[in-house]
Structure 1
Amino acid sequence: MPPMYGVGIRFFFSGLLFFLILLLRKESIPINKQSIKLYLSFALLNFSLSYGITYWATQYVYSSISAIIWGLFPAVTSLIAHFMIPNDPNERLTQNKLLALGIGFIGLTIISSNQTIDFSSNSSIGILLLICAVVAAAYPSVLYKKHSQEVNHYQMNAVCQLITGVVMLSLSYFIETEETMQLVWTNELILSTIYLIVLGGVVSWGIYFWLYQHLTVTQVTYVAIFPPIVAIIMGWTFLNEVLTTKEIIGTILILSGSVLIYRK
């Protein structure tokens, strides 16, 4: 599936589902200067730009490198929050946070080193763009944390995801017309798309935005380090894959970092 089209389809329909939730809850959409800034920053920087780059880059960059780069996300958001939310002591970049983030990142790197890693010139542009994607996603995340009382998680998801869907589908129309026309909707593709819309769009992002109202930025964004662990556990459970020493050590380090991050 063409990357822009894939992002657009996913967010357009999950955004519509969030609007349905708002309709059932009889909630309106806040429209003021601050809420509009939140909608546009998250929709354009986090969802559209960051997701678009990541979807595109995965065609040229190994997943192991992508995982390592996105493992920097909690550190980048924590650094930005340190300066953007100076009046909240919980958002300060303390030695404990730095230690936890460092341990988690080392664990992620160890797990990823067990997979294929390629730093050839062909993937260099993809790597640089992924770094840009991480930074682009970090700023609106901190901005929403700072003003999360303005817009709740249902409202934020509904507006941001629908905007993203319209933007990415529009770009796809002009850039990916040929690839989209050649797309064959197999049963597997339909099911995977529904999965991304419901679980990847509605459930995961619904929980994610809700967490911003209850946890610190570092605690919320630390989840970016967990996907490799989930993949390892699922492979071991359902595919009878053998756990390697690197995977075990990396998992222990990531979980150790999470203990430091989430403890009171």
Structure 2
Amino acid sequence: MIAVAFATVYVVWGSTYFFIQKALVGLHPFLLGSMRFLASGTIMMLWCVIRKEKIWSVQAIKMAAITGIMLLSVGNGIVIWVEQFMPSAVVAITVSAAPIWFVLLDKPHWKENFSDRSTIIGLIVGFMGVLLLFGQQLIGSLDQIDSRTIIGLALLIIGSMSWAGGSLYAKAHPTGASATVNTAWQMLIGGLAFVPGIFITGEWERTDWAAVPTASWLSILYLILMGSIAAYSAYVWLLQVRPATQVSTYAYVNPVIAVILGVAFANEHISTLQIAGLGVILLSVLLINLNKYRKAA
């Protein structure tokens, strides 16, 4: 189950950057975020009711309110918003710094994390691998950096910190509820937090529903079913059963998947430098998990 959960988070989340940009062709960012998470949260809550799980828990709802807003409304919401105008390579590189924030913000485990040399080396190597993977696009994007892009970079850093902090909070405050119930509440509350932005920015009035292309509807359907229900549920469960530093490796592997999908389905070209980057990233994941392999041996 752990292997399946990691594979789901690695592969599915690696594809969501592409589908977010597709959905943004016809939908505005706050509207997209609210539709995605309210729909997925409602589906998961109905599933919990069908299974007769205990859903009314003050502790679970309180935890979900904090983590849902930190992870989905702030962390993922910023990614959705900046993908309107920032190159995907720059977004991917900035977001890939998340594992570093996991280590820096996880104060109770500082001694354990910083004493594990392979973990620290793996984090550094992984970020270098992402730079190699997107180095050529990054150089081309530097000429296009303006004040809006700088603001976007700052927001992405805040979003990565919020995502890491919310994940660590969820891991440190177990509620006793099932991962499914926790996930459902997080999505519902996170989705509701997008709603004020819809009306403050006038997105509802500016949306021409008849003009939204089919590709946008199919993309948001994919984000609801796969990006949220499948992958986010797997991520929440992994935080309960595996160390946060290991779970955070998704941020290094997602760009790898994105490049592989681009080569396989969009006829994109992969360079020798990118192949080297892929190898370096996979090496970093091995290093981050090396201590676990040693214990198993």
CA positional deviation for 1:227? 1.9
Counterpart Cα distance in 1 of 2:40 and 2:84: 24
Q: Which residue of 1 aligns with 2:230?
A: 203
Q: Counterparts of 1:7-46 in structure 2 under 5 Å? A: 7-29=33-55, 31-33=57-59, 35-46=60-71
Q: 1:164 to 1:183 in 2, by over 3 A?
A: farther
Q: Which residue of 1 aligns with 2:78?
A: 53
Question: Are 2:122 and 1:95 equivalent residues in the alignment?
Answer: no
CA positional deviation for 1:92? 5.6
Q: Which residue of 1 aligns with 2:259?
A: 232
Question: Are 2:271 and 1:244 equivalent residues in the alignment?
Answer: yes
Q: Which of the numbers 84, 88, 95 marks the counterpart of 1:63?
A: 88
CA positional deviation for 1:133? 0.8
Q: Which residue of 2 aligns with 1:157?
A: 183
Higher helix share: 2
Aligned length: 260
CA positional deviation for 1:94? 2.6
Question: Are 2:215 and 1:215 equivalent residues in the alignment?
Answer: no
Counterpart Cα distance in 2 of 1:189 and 1:38: 32
Q: Secondary structure at the match of 1:212?
A: helix
Q: Does structure 2 conserve the Cα–Cα contact (< 8 Å) formed by 1:79 and 1:93?
A: no
Q: 1:43 to 1:114 in 2, by over 3 A?
A: same
Q: 1:93 to 1:214 in 2, by over 3 A?
A: farther
CA positional deviation for 1:178? 3.0
CA positional deviation for 1:30? 5.2
Q: CA RMSD in A?
A: 2.0
- The Cα offsets for residues 194-248 of structure 1, whole Å up to 9 and x where unpaired, read as 1010001100011111111221101111101222211221222234433201110
Counterpart Cα distance in 2 of 1:182 and 1:2: 11
CA positional deviation for 1:181? 4.3
Structure 1, unmatched stretches of 5+, are none
Counterpart Cα distance in 1 of 2:246 and 2:152: 28
Structure 1 residues 174-183 or 227-236, which shifts more? Answer: 174-183
Q: Which residue of 1 aligns with 2:23?
A: none
Q: Secondary structure at the match of 2:229?
A: helix
CA positional deviation for 1:171? 2.3
Q: Which residue of 1 aligns with 2:13?
A: none
Q: Secondary structure at the match of 2:211?
A: coil
CA positional deviation for 1:149? 5.5
Structure 1 residues 221-230 or 233-242, which shifts more? Answer: 233-242
Question: Are 2:148 and 1:127 equivalent residues in the alignment?
Answer: no
**What percent of counterpart residues are identical?**
28
Q: Which residue of 2 aligns with 1:111?
A: 133
- The structure 1 segments of at least 4 consecutive aligned residues displaced by more than 4 Å after TM superposition are none
